[in-house]
Chain A
């Protein structure tokens, strides 16, 4: 009698949710709160000049310390380096959910920044996206100092 060959499956009989709350640290908090002023902050490494967005206080290239004085305001305009279109999203319990409309996501290099940010793209059909397109930020009507204040990036007209 080999009980190893029999497998029994169990799932949690009651809703069981674990919550997490990751503290963001001071530089990131400054970045997020400044979005309320419709401003995007970056940080320039005083040693090698690499500009990070969002800002961080240790350069990932030359490992020099970056101070508050090295914070710099970015224009909110940039270049679309690359992009993709999503047709499904995850439902939080391991299943795919079809999107009512395909969502475009872009890798954007902001003016004067060296690092890339990943942002949703709006006001454009996925088929019209092109690498190298100029894009600009579109803010929420009433920014509150949250990450969601950046609604999406759209192609610059003209």
Chain B
């Protein structure tokens, strides 16, 4: 490495572990659950703000812009536009590990595959969802391309029912 390196003394350490799993309980509202249940019927639910008219997907309690309560629900389309994309480096077996798991070994990603993560603004929504783009070469993805949701074969009311998006065929 061409960086200027400096060596400093390494003094001994006092060590301790924080057992997060054992000692912490998180509280959540039921909004994300509501959204997941809607996916069972292939319905993508958002909340509508009575003040500024924005539709936020997944739904939230309070509009971030005008701070009004968003109780009303709207179903948005499963077709939308890519507003942003990020492409991973090729995933190599044994090299890319996530939380101790090897994505190639688990059969989730092909060796050398580049994962494309996209932000999609579904028609009718005013916010992005983030998901994966499949059936598209990395060189062909672009901002503004039209995509359609790829649903799980048997939706179960889980977030994974909305598996990915793929390019919309004319």
Contacts and interface: CB of A to CB of B under 8 A. Distances in A.
Say whether A associates with B. Answer: yes
A50 B22 CA distance: 43
B60 to A, nearest CB: 10
B159 to A, nearest CB: 14
B22 A93 contact: yes
B12 A20 contact: no
Given A3-B29, A3-B34, A6-B30, A15 B13 contact: no
18 contacts: A3-B31, A4-B29, A8-B28, A8-B33, A9-B26, A9-B27, A11-B21, A11-B24, A15-B19, A16-B19, A17-B17, A20-B18, A21-B14, A22-B15, A24-B11, A28-B11, A33-B12, A93-B23
Nearest to A15: B21
B106 interface: no
Interface of A: 1-4, 6-12, 14-26, 28-29, 32-33, 92-94, 147
Contact of A11 (B12, B14, B25, B61): B25
Contact of A23 (B12, B25, B34): B12
Contacts of A6: 29-30
Contacts of B25: 9-11
A8 B11 contact: no
B20 interface: yes
B11 A23 contact: yes
A6 B15 CA distance: 40
Given A15-B21, A16-B20, A7 B13 contact: no
Interface of B: 9-31, 33-34, 61, 71
Given A23-B11, A23-B13, A29-B12, A7 B21 contact: no
Nearest to B28: A8
A8 B21 contact: no
A18 B12 contact: no
Contact of A18 (B13, B20, B33): B20
Nearest 3 A/B pairs, CB to CB: A93-B22, A12-B21, A16-B21
B13 A24 contact: yes
Given A15-B21, A16-B20, A17-B17, 10 more contacts: A8-B30, A10-B28, A11-B24, A17-B20, A18-B20, A20-B17, A22-B15, A24-B12, A29-B12, A92-B23
A3 B32 CA distance: 10
Contacts of B61: 3-4
Contacts of B30: 3, 6, 8
Given A18-B17, A18-B20, A93-B23, A26 B9 contact: yes
B21 A17 contact: yes
A101 B41 CA distance: 61
B28 A93 contact: no
B15 A20 contact: yes
Nearest to B13: A21
Nearest to A6: B30
